[in-house]
């Protein structure tokens, strides 16, 4: 299960807190919410402090978002290891 909470939403930036497991259909939900924020010409920040696990599709999405200048904060050591090759945290 995954919880995505809007922490802040201003004219310039949206900050989402991601909690739980970024797997399966939740990857597409995060993709949808991220695309919406980015399409509104806002910056996007993901707070990953409470993210416990990411599957391969989730890793691919986080890598893709990092190439779109999405800030990713508070990665746990476990998530950092999963994303190690892309250095997004």
- pLDDT 10s digit of each residue in the chain, 89 long? 899 999 988 888 999 999 999 999 999 999 999 999 899 878 999 999 999 999 999 999 999 998 899 999 999 998 888 887 655 55
Report the domain count for the chain.
Answer: 1
Residue 88 is predicted with a pLDDT of 52
In a domain, 88, yes or no: no
Domain-embedded: residue 17: yes
Instruction: Provide the CATH number for the domain around residue 63.
Output: 3.30.750.24
What totals of helices (H) and strands (E) does the chain contain, helices first? Answer: 3, 4
- Asked whether residue 30 is assigned to any structural domain, the reply reads yes
| Residues 6 or more apart in contact with residue 10 via CB below 8 angstroms | 42
Distance CA 77, CA 1 (A): 20
* Residue ranges making up the domain that contains 35: 2-82
Q: What is the pTM of this model?
A: 0.87
> What pLDDT, on a 0 to 100 scale, did the predictor assign at position 72?
93
Q: What integer pLDDT is reported at residue 42 of this predicted model?
A: 81
State the pLDDT at residue 10. 85
Residue 89 lies in a domain: no
61 in any annotated domain: yes
Residue 8 belongs to some domain of the structure: yes
């Amino acid at each position: 299960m995954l919880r995505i909470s809007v922490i802040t939403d201003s004219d310039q930036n949206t900050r989402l807190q991601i909690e739980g497991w970024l797997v399966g259909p939740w990857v597409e939900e995060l993709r949808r919410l991220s695309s919406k924020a980015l399409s509104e010409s806002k910056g996007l920040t993901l707070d990953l402090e409470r993210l416990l696990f990411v599957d391969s599709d989730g890793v691919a999405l986080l890598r893709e978002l990092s190439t779109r200048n999405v800030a990713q904060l508070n990665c746990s050591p476990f998530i950092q290891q999963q994303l190690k090759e892309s250095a997004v945290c």
